[in-house]
Chain A
Amino acid sequence: MSTDATLSFEEAMEKYDPVLGFEVHVELNTQTKMFSSAPNVFGDEPNTNVNEVDLGMPGVLPVLNKTAVESSIKIGLALNCKIAESCRFARKNYFYPDTPKNFQTSQYDEPIAYDGYLDIELSDGTVFRVEIERAHMEEDAGKLTHLGGSAGRIQGADYSLVDYNRAGVPLVEIVTKPIEGAGSRAPELAKAYVAAVREIVKNLGVSDAKMERGNVRCDANVSLRPHGRERFGIRSETKNVNSLRAVEHAVRYEIQRHAAVLDSGEPVIQETRHWHEDTRTTTSGRAKSDADDYRYFPEPDLVPVVASREWVEELRATLPEPPAARRKRLQADWGYSDLEFRDVVNAGVMDEIEETIAAGATASVARKWWMGEIVGRAKNADVDPGQLGVEPATIVELNKMVEDGKINNKMASEVLDGVLAGEGTPAEIVEKRGLAVVSDDGPLLEAIDAALAAQPDVADKIRAGKLQAIGAIVGGVMKATRGQADAGRVKELILEKLGVNA
């Protein structure tokens, strides 16, 4: 495989201005397919979730899934789009075995949603508005596996095996307008945009939104132009960039590759590029040609979809709070600093903290436990913090024990380990392990006497009012009681003993 020349990203940015565009395909999580009543399920045995409609048999008629239309309208509304009063489907004609009909039923000149926008917040808080051209309904294609030759690659394959379980799964394709002005933030913006779309469709409950399963797929368009020029350069379209990280890398790579092509004085070829995660490069797919003449025409087997304003408003009323607005509200409610809140979001424990606060913890206690105790344990176990199985009630109970002086923070952390190991409730574990802060003053007074006798000079300092010296005595007591003493109570008793008013 030949390697394309690239410029460094910095040099590319010095010379050129990137323009981006995205097509994001979202698979809806309806029970059935877009035009047939076959189940929409991932991972089943090949060609078992199909019927005569999905296989494009002669004489069959598609019937539109109402839930899929409603999900599409919800996506349009969440992207601040206008919803078409009336729209229709079209046939996109092409020959390829991923569709047995030789056309894909899609929308062409009349998408269900158009003219929207999404405000994308970058990591430093900068807000960048991405304009949405349209969001239209269509159907997914079947899945091809290329076999023989060099395994798995389309080049050199001897034959392909086709599974039509995915054929007809409802899709919404979201198309942006050209995104200008991102400059060197382009790769970051690309990732943040796809992340925002994914978060929105997940929050709406209309898609499972798992990129690793192809529920959300991104085609990234990149072109460069010299600074100050208005006309766009020639673009490439990198297909199926299927992780958030890959979106960022693919955009960065294409910027660097385009810059090298332009620097050499050659024109960029308008073509499809394939992303390779292993080498973090793209390779040439197929040049755009008249094979892209899809001869769209209105689908005669489906009647128009008319979205009455009442229906649209009914659906709007069901929309959940947008994720970005929710984050703003929670941060204000909890009183976290920007940095604290960003750490919480990045650690993926915002929902967990919200639940813990709802269960009765204060915002700072919830943050202390999740960020201080649970995130680290999850990292060690290589799971998401939410999957570790810590119940909000457990945190509330542990915190209460600490506040009541029954156990100290160190013991509480030990009890949490016990809970995660399945040893029982916090109360049971405290009991079983014999964990309890020594609160009987008798043994404490003995230990204090011993500590004071061992360090008479320190005792004198405290008597003289140098209260910060008390730490040495408290340390001695804690050591003698193997950490089971309540440090606060120890302090009180020392001061009492020495007749000092704190």
Chain B
Amino acid sequence: MAAINRDDVAHLARLAHIEMSAEELDRMAGELAVIVDAVKSVSEAAGDDVPATSHPIPLSNVFREDVVGHTFTAEQALSGAPDSDENRFKVPAILDEA
């Protein structure tokens, strides 16, 4: 992986909706570069005989039967919501549709 520069950090911060100051961007670019280097050393240790893995636990097919379990009431569901109306979560208008 290429080194992480300040622009990359600013880009990620914007995507993650995290506001960062100029100083924070500078500092984080340096810290992330060190972390990426540390992770890179893993690929040096792993030879061609080690397959890529996305999961540390050697399990597959952990399934649930298709049987209805518990639900919340609307009141419970909304109990932690900052705002609600008509049994629904009330959120600010967001123009950018995902």
Return the CB mask of A19-55 against B: 1 if under 8 Å, else 0. Answer: 0000000000011100011110000011111111001
* Stretch of B19-27, B29-37, B62-70 on the interface side: B62-70
Q: A303-B57, A305-B61 are in contact. Are A97 and B89 (CB under 8 A)?
A: yes
Q: How far is the CA of A293 from the CA of B12 in the complex (A)?
A: 9
* Stretch of A141-149, A334-342, A384-392, A471-479 on the interface side: A141-149
Q: Which residues of A contact B (CB under 8 A)?
A: 30-32, 36-39, 45-52, 55, 63-69, 86, 88, 93-98, 144-146, 148-149, 154-155, 157-164, 272, 285-286, 290-291, 293, 295, 298, 300, 302-306
A162 to chain B, nearest CB (A): 4
Among the listed A38, A95, A160, A293, which residue makes an inter-chain contact with B68, where contact means beta carbons less than 8 Å apart? Answer: A38
Interface residues on B, range: 35 or more
Do A47 and B77 touch (CB < 8 A)? yes
Do B64 and A64 touch (CB < 8 A)? yes
Do A163 and B88 touch (CB < 8 A)? yes
Q: How far is the CA of A300 from the CA of B63 in the complex (A)?
A: 15
Contact partners of A66 in chain B: CB under 8 A:
63-66
Do A51 and B89 touch (CB < 8 A)? no
Can you sample 25 A-B contacts with CB below 8 Å? A30-B66, A37-B70, A46-B86, A48-B71, A48-B77, A51-B69, A51-B71, A55-B72, A63-B63, A64-B64, A67-B65, A86-B60, A88-B54, A93-B16, A96-B94, A96-B97, A96-B98, A159-B93, A160-B91, A160-B92, A163-B88, A290-B11, A303-B60, A305-B60, A306-B61
User: Which of A51, A96, A149, A303 has most B Cβ within 10 Å?
Assistant: A303
Q: How far is the CA of A317 from the CA of B86 in the complex (A)?
A: 47
Among the listed A32, A55, A272, A298, which residue makes an inter-chain contact with B55, where contact means beta carbons less than 8 Å apart? Answer: A298
Residue of chain B at shortest CB distance from A39: B68
B9 to chain A, nearest CB (A): 13
B44 in the interface (beta carbon within 8 A): no
Do B71 and A38 touch (CB < 8 A)? yes
Do A285 and B68 touch (CB < 8 A)? no
Residue of chain B at shortest CB distance from A162: B89
Q: How far is the CA of A55 from the CA of B66 in the complex (A)?
A: 19
Contact partners of B63 in chain A: CB under 8 A:
63-66, 69
B4 in the interface (beta carbon within 8 A): no
